[in-house]
Amino acid sequence: MNRLARVVLCSACIALLPGVPAVHGQEASRGIPATDVGVPGSGPIRRAEWFQKTWNGRRDQFLKSAKDEQGALVVFGDSITQGWGDRLKKFFPGAKIANRGISGDTTRGMLYRFKEDVLDLNPTGVVMLMGTNDLAESATAAQIVGNIKLMILQLKAKNPSIAIVLCTMFPSSPTKERPAEKIKEVNNALLAAVKGDSSVIVVDTWAMFANAEGNAPAELFPDLLHLNDAGYEKWASALRPVLETYMLIPVPADDFKPEAGFVSLFNGRDLTGWGVQATPEETIKQRENVLKKNPNGPVWPIFKESKSFDSQIASDDGRYVARNGRIVVMTPAEGRRIQTLSTTKEFPKDFTLRLEFRATPNADSGVFLRKPQLQCRDYTVAGPYKNLKNYKPQDWNVLEVVAKGGVARCTCNGEVLEEAFKIPETGPIGLEGDRGQMEYRRIRIKTEG
Query: What is the pLDDT at residue 248?
Result: 98
pLDDT for res 29:
57
User: For 116-163, how does the pLDDT look when each residue is reduced to its tens digit (9 = 90+)?
Assistant: 999 999 999 999 999 999 999 999 999 999 999 999 999 999 999 999
Which pLDDT does position 30 carry in this prediction? 81
Mean pLDDT of the chain: 93
- Name, in order, each residue with C-beta under 8 angstroms of 242's C-beta and a sequence gap of 6 or more: 163, 165, 201, 203, 331, 360, 437
Domain annotation covers residue 206: yes
**Do the domain assignments include residue 1?**
no
Q: Tell me, yes or no, whether 256 lies in a domain.
A: no
For 125-253, strand residue ranges (E) read 125-129, 163-167, 200-203
In whole angstroms, give the CA distance from residue 438 to residue 433: 8
What backbone torsions phi and psi does residue 364 show, to the nearest 5 degrees? -130, 120
pTM, two decimal places: 0.92
Instruction: Please tell me the least confidently modeled range out of 57-61, 152-156, 282-286, 316-320.
Output: 282-286
**235 and 267 share a domain?**
no
In this structure, are 224 and 319 located in the same domain? Answer: no
Q: Does residue 159 fall inside a structural domain? A: yes
How far apart CA 89 and CA 241 sit, in angstroms, is 17
**Is 251 a domain residue?**
no
Write out pLDDT tens, residues 172-181: 999 999 999 9
Stretch 35-52: mean pLDDT, rounded? 97
Radius of gyration over every alpha carbon of the chain, rounded to an integer in angstroms = 23
CA–CA dist 341, 331 (Å, integer)? 15
| Statement to judge: residues 341 and 367 lie in one domain | yes
Domain boundary among 214, 245, 276: 245
| Residue 319 lies in domain | 263-447
Both 105 and 240 in a single domain? Answer: yes
CA angle 250, 255, 261 (to 5 degrees): 150
Q: Is 296 in the same domain as 231?
A: no
26 and 174 in a single domain? The answer is yes
Q: Are residues 288 and 210 in the same domain?
A: no
pLDDT tens-digit map of 222-277: 999 999 999 999 999 999 999 999 999 999 999 999 999 999 999 999 999 999 99
Domain match, 187 and 326 both: no
Side-chain-side CA neighbours of 95 within 13 Å: the count stands at 28
Q: Is the pLDDT at 103 greater than 70, yes or no?
A: yes
Shortest CA distance to 436 belongs to which of 319, 349, 352? 319
pLDDT recorded at residue 296 = 85
Q: How far is CA 109 from CA 35, 78, 79, 148, in A?
A: 12, 10, 13, 11
Amino acid at 234: K
Q: Are residues 21 and 87 in the same domain?
A: yes
- Whether 276 is in a domain gets the answer yes
pLDDT tens, position by position, 184-219: 999 999 999 999 999 999 999 999 999 999 999 999
Whether residue 141 sits in one domain with residue 96: yes
Residues 162 and 279 in one domain: no
The CATH number of the domain holding residue 377 is: 2.60.120.560
pLDDT tens digits for 10-34? 333 333 343 444 443 344 458 999 9
Q: Which of 191, 215, 245 is the last residue of a domain?
A: 245
pLDDT digits (tens, 9 = 90+) for 324-363: 999 999 999 999 999 999 999 999 999 999 999 999 999 9
Residue 318's pLDDT band (cuts 50, 70, 90): very high
| Residues 246/427, Cβ–Cβ less than 8 Å | no
How many domains in the chain?
A: 2
Asked which of 212, 245, 278 is the last residue of a domain, the reply is 245
Count CA atoms within 13 Å of residue 416 on its CB side: 6
Is the residue at 252 inside a domain?
no
Task: Tell me the CATH number at 175.
Answer: 3.40.50.1110
Among 306, 322, 324, 303, which Cα is nearest to 314's? 322
Asked if the bond preceding 384 is cis, omega within 30° of 0, the reply is: yes
Whether residue 220 is found in the same domain as residue 340: no
Once rounded to an integer, what is the mean pLDDT over residues 81-110? Answer: 98
296, part of any domain: yes
Residue in 15, 273, 21, 261 with CA at minimum distance from that of residue 147: 21
Cα–Cα distances in Å, from 398 out to 9, 60, 102, 413? 43, 47, 40, 5
Percent residues over pLDDT 70 in the chain: 94
What pLDDT is attached to residue 429?
98
Between CA 45 and CA 240 the distance in angstroms is 32
